[in-house]
Chains A and B, each alone.
Chain A
Amino acid sequence: MSAIASAFKSPFKNIFAEFTEQSAAFTDSFGLLFQMLRRLPNFQSWRWTEIFQSVVHMGVGSLPIIVISTAVAGTVVTHEIAWHMDEALHSVSMIPGFSGQFIFRELGIAIPAMLLVAKVGAATTAEVGTMKITEQIDALKLLGIDPLSYLVFPRFIAAIISSSCLTFISVSVTMGCALAVAVYSYGFTTLEFINAFKHFVGIKDVACALVKGIVFGAVIPIISCAYGFRCKGGAEGVGTATTNSVVAATSTIITLDFILTYLFTFFL
């Protein structure tokens, strides 16, 4: 029984230390965001080759997985919406409006963001954390190079660019799948679908998608770099930091999603 008893105790043992660590990392993320925004207007210091490389690495590298996943999600959600509409209103004529708005405002944005957290965020934390524990970041500082401008800023810009592009790609892929499902399973014609879709989805939804894409893209590198910079204690520390950063980034994205949805629903 002692193993079970210790399992009960172990998560509570360092709860205070963990809480301070998490809140310190959270504060660090805000500091990092402020630093990034301060560097934003200074166009001379943008390292374009680095940014383009990161865009290719982040964006094109996660393109296949995001396209496949969002396509699958789009089909499932359209089926679900059709089922619910059939149950509630005994007609499926609202599929275009309902699924279009749901995809533009929520689904086509949240799922690629989650996948980007797992793919880009975890890799960034592991990379920066490894640099930190092998003292490469101290070496950079010693050479008079600012690690924030050198390491974080290109990733920040690249993540914003690739996230907003991937958001649009995934929204169009998901919409395409919804269209295909509506046409093949529920007897819509393509023109009918697009007409009804245009009636419900306007420039506001596109703006919502773009803003959410940009915000989520900015969140990912900042949180993962903040956790990477706080890394200590060898290889194990990198593993812990990666886990924590994935959880923190996903939680932050869900929270921001709620806030942005609230703002877009009630104020815009």
Chain B
Amino acid sequence: MTQFLESTLFKLLHELGSVWLFYFRVVGTFLSTRGNFKPIVAQIVSVTIRSMSTVIFAGVFVGAILVLQFNMILDKYDASSLLGGLNTSTVVREVGPLIISFLLAGKIGAYTAAELGTMRVTEQIEAIECLGTNPLQYLVVPRLVGIVISSLFLLIIGLIISIAGSMVVASVFCGINYLEYSNSIPRFTTLWTITGGILKSMVYGSIVATVACHKGYTASGGARGVGRAVTSAAVYTNFYILIANFITSHFLNFSHEMIELFTGVHS
């Protein structure tokens, strides 16, 4: 048992360290090289189009599930009028970015890991290196930066769709009309909530991009190695996203309190 825990812990720390180092290397390459604009835009376009359907689907259902769940609980307190505000705030702050980025981890993360991993095990990356091109700049920078930016777009679209979808679900399944639903939204959802949601989306998008690129880039051991890279990319992305959720939530609460303390503005 001790050995099991010890090896798990070691593996985890090893993973975390190598992902961070990889991230800094890619960002360093991005900042020190030029001519990355076109491939990044191409990557953003293709990733966004490819995952749009998944994100819309996930957004609608996340909102719908939360509406049903909250409605059941709020009914007991006779506080159904608060449903819209509570639901929107929870979706934007917490659950929306979490679940949508889980799906993005499956969609984009696994795809990128498989693509880069196949390139690695068929020695295409070594061939690029032999031709005197930096594979980090040529392959990884457009993917990583493109995925970060496009997942920010996708998460924002997903959150908007989710708010709209939960409004429809509330009126169809719970008998709360649109006006009643949207009436309580401004009470809970402020500029700060939206800022927090966007910040979280950015962090999760970076995690999806970095872990997928790292796993694909360092894949080894033939076709089986690619499979392993894809699996561990999906697992570690979800795991890191949950940890990051903890850290960003506390960071956001802390900075919110600090802002209130120093500016005196209650937002």
Task: Find out whether the CB atom of A261 lies under 8 angstroms from the CB atom of B226.
Answer: no
Tell me if A7 counts as interface (CB < 8 A to partner B).
yes
C-alpha spacing A262/B72, complex, angstroms = 10
Residue B106 contacts which of A117, A123, A126, A235 (CB distance < 8 angstroms)? Answer: A117
Residue B38 contacts which of A3, A69, A80, A238 (CB distance < 8 angstroms)? Answer: A3
Residue B231 contacts which of A77, A114, A119 (CB distance < 8 angstroms)? Answer: A119
Q: Which residue of B lies closest to A118 (CB)?
A: B234
C-alpha spacing A118/B85, complex, angstroms = 32
Task: Find out whether the CB atom of A254 lies under 8 angstroms from the CB atom of B73.
Answer: no
Tell me if A188 counts as interface (CB < 8 A to partner B).
no
Besides A10-B46, A118-B237, A254-B61, 18 other A-B contacts (C-beta < 8 A): A4-B38, A4-B45, A7-B41, A7-B43, A12-B49, A68-B242, A68-B243, A72-B245, A79-B249, A79-B250, A88-B82, A88-B188, A119-B231, A235-B121, A242-B230, A254-B57, A257-B61, A258-B61
User: Known contacts A75-B246, A117-B106, A118-B234: does B89 contact A84 (CB below 8 Å)?
Assistant: yes
Number of interface residues of B (CB under 8 A): 70
C-alpha spacing A72/B66, complex, angstroms = 20
A-B contact pairs, 14 of them (CB 8 A): A3-B38, A64-B5, A69-B242, A115-B235, A115-B239, A117-B106, A127-B227, A130-B227, A235-B121, A236-B118, A240-B114, A243-B230, A250-B102, A258-B61
Task: Find out whether the CB atom of A118 lies under 8 angstroms from the CB atom of B62.
Answer: no
Query: Which residue among B5, B8, B227, B237 has the maximum number of chain A CB atoms within 10 Å of its CB?
Result: B227
Closest CB-CB distance, B52 to chain A, in whole Å? 9
Closest CB-CB distance, B39 to chain A, in whole Å? 6
User: Known contacts A72-B246, A119-B235, A261-B68: does B77 contact A64 (CB below 8 Å)?
Assistant: no
Tell me if B105 counts as interface (CB < 8 A to partner A).
yes
Task: Find out whether the CB atom of B111 lies under 8 angstroms from the CB atom of A250.
Answer: no
Residue A76 contacts which of B94, B121, B226 (CB distance < 8 angstroms)? Answer: B94
Q: Which residue of A lies closest to B223 (CB)?
A: A235
C-alpha spacing A117/B235, complex, angstroms = 9
Residue A73 contacts which of B45, B110, B242 (CB distance < 8 angstroms)? Answer: B242
**B222 to chain A: which residues have CB within 8 Å?**
235
User: Known contacts A72-B245, A118-B235: does B65 contact A130 (CB below 8 Å)?
Assistant: no
Q: Which residue of B lies closest to A1 (CB)?
A: B38
Q: Which residue of A lies closest to B4 (CB)?
A: A64
Task: Find out whether the CB atom of A65 lies under 8 angstroms from the CB atom of B223.
Answer: no
**B137 to chain A: which residues have CB within 8 Å?**
none
**Contact flags (1/0) for A235-268 with B, using CB distance below 8 Å?**
1101110110011001100110110011001100
User: Known contacts A243-B230, A265-B72: does B249 contact A76 (CB below 8 Å)?
Assistant: yes
C-alpha spacing A43/B16, complex, angstroms = 45
**B49 to chain A: which residues have CB within 8 Å?**
8, 11-12
Residue B42 contacts which of A3, A236, A246 (CB distance < 8 angstroms)? Answer: A3
Tell me if A206 counts as interface (CB < 8 A to partner B).
no
Task: Find out whether the CB atom of A238 lies under 8 angstroms from the CB atom of B223.
Answer: yes
C-alpha spacing A130/B71, complex, angstroms = 46
Give the total number of A-B pairs whose CB atoms are below 8 A apart.
191
Residue A250 contacts which of B5, B103, B187, B245 (CB distance < 8 angstroms)? Answer: B103
The 8 closest A-B pairs by CB, nearest first: A239-B114, A126-B227, A235-B223, A246-B106, A118-B234, A7-B42, A243-B110, A122-B231
Task: Find out whether the CB atom of B118 lies under 8 angstroms from the CB atom of A235.
Answer: yes
Residue A7 contacts which of B45, B235, B238, B253 (CB distance < 8 angstroms)? Answer: B45
Task: Find out whether the CB atom of B242 lies under 8 angstroms from the CB atom of A126.
Answer: no
Q: Which residue of B lies closest to A94 (CB)?
A: B77
Tell me if B93 counts as interface (CB < 8 A to partner A).
yes
User: Known contacts A79-B253, A242-B114: does B69 contact A251 (CB below 8 Å)?
Assistant: no
C-alpha spacing A129/B250, complex, angstroms = 42
C-alpha spacing A110/B65, complex, angstroms = 11
**A102 to chain B: which residues have CB within 8 Å?**
69, 73
Tell me if B164 counts as interface (CB < 8 A to partner A).
no
Tell me if B58 counts as interface (CB < 8 A to partner A).
yes
Task: Find out whether the CB atom of B90 lies under 8 angstroms from the CB atom of A89.
Answer: no
**A247 to chain B: which residues have CB within 8 Å?**
54, 103, 106-107, 110
**Contact flags (1/0) for B143-169 with A, using CB distance below 8 Å?**
000000000000000000000000000
Tell me if B50 counts as interface (CB < 8 A to partner A).
yes
Tell me if A111 counts as interface (CB < 8 A to partner B).
yes
Task: Find out whether the CB atom of A4 lies under 8 angstroms from the CB atom of B41.
Answer: yes
**A98 to chain B: which residues have CB within 8 Å?**
73
